[in-house]
């Protein structure tokens, strides 16, 4: 009977591999554009990435790591930004019982919309965000939009709401809001890095389709006796 736990573990791994093979994953990294909120002119963007990188590529801001250029790009953190892409899902994907839109990382405060329909709000750079979109996907062209709000403005709202200035010696801003934002602390300044409070789709995004069921997570726990 002793080999039984090992057999169960091995069987579960094979089961997971079989279910994962049934997943259909469609990356959404092409044809992204971006613009400042309210602007009607959208320019090419690279996803995954950040708004600072896209602005640099278009020559809107200089390289902040050269000389004292960083002092001239702080305005970026005060603005809201919109990222948009159009895509056509594979025909086979639409036949799946379940379809999920999966963002591995959104930095940070954003509203996600698909074909003009709001899917939800995000407020944490470090987690994955998923949305069920089976009923919203079209067989033709779809429009995915991510509207980012200024992390500094959103952090200021939270600071005012709680009325407590928390320790943030690294924060180089006039108002230290970093403790109220689930975002990399070094973005607000550090002893080894300048202050660059950015926004963007900083990790991969994809559509995931499956039938019946899937294994979303596996945890193995050893019990010693």
Domain ranges of the chain: 25-210
Low-confidence ranges of the chain (pLDDT < 50): 1, 17, 20
Among the listed residues 66, 72, 18, the one whose alpha carbon sits nearest the alpha carbon of residue 213: 18
Q: C-alpha angle with apex 98: 92 to 101, nearest 5 degrees?
A: 90
- Quick: pLDDT tens for 139-150: 999 999 999 999
Contact predicate 221/12, CB 8 Å: no
Q: Are 193 and 52 in contact (CB under 8 A)?
A: no
- Model confidence over 10-48: pLDDT tens digits? 555 555 545 545 899 999 999 999 999 999 999 999 999
**CATH, domain range 25-210:** 2.60.120.260
Give residue 7's pLDDT.
54
pLDDT at 16: 52
């Amino acid at each position: 009977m002793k080999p039984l736990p090992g057999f169960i573990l091995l069987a579960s791994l094979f089961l997971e591999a079989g279910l994962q093979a049934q997943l259909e994953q469609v990356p959404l990294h092409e044809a992204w554009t971006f613009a400042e909120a309210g602007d009607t002119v959208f320019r090419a963007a690279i996803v995954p990435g950040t708004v600072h990188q896209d602005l640099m590529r278009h020559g809107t801001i200089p390289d902040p790591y050269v000389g004292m250029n960083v002092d001239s790009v702080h305005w970026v953190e005060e603005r809201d930004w919109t990222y948009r892409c159009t895509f056509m899902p594979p025909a086979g994907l639409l036949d799946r019982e379940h379809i999920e839109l999966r963002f591995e990382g959104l930095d940070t405060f954003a509203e996600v919309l698909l074909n003009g329909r709001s899917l939800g709000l995000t407020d944490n750079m470090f987690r994955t965000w998923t949305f069920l979109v089976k009923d919203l996907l079209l067989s033709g062209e779809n429009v995915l939009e991510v509207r980012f709000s200024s992390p500094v403005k959103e952090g200021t709202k939270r600071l005012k709401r709680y009325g407590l200035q928390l320790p943030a010696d690294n924060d180089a801003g006039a108002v230290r809001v970093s403790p109220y934002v689930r975002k990399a602390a070094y973005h607000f300044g550090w002893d080894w890095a300048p202050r660059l409070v950015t926004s963007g789709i900083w990790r991969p995004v994809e559509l995931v389709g499956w039938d019946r069921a899937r294994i979303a997570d596996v945890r193995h726990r050893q019990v010693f006796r």
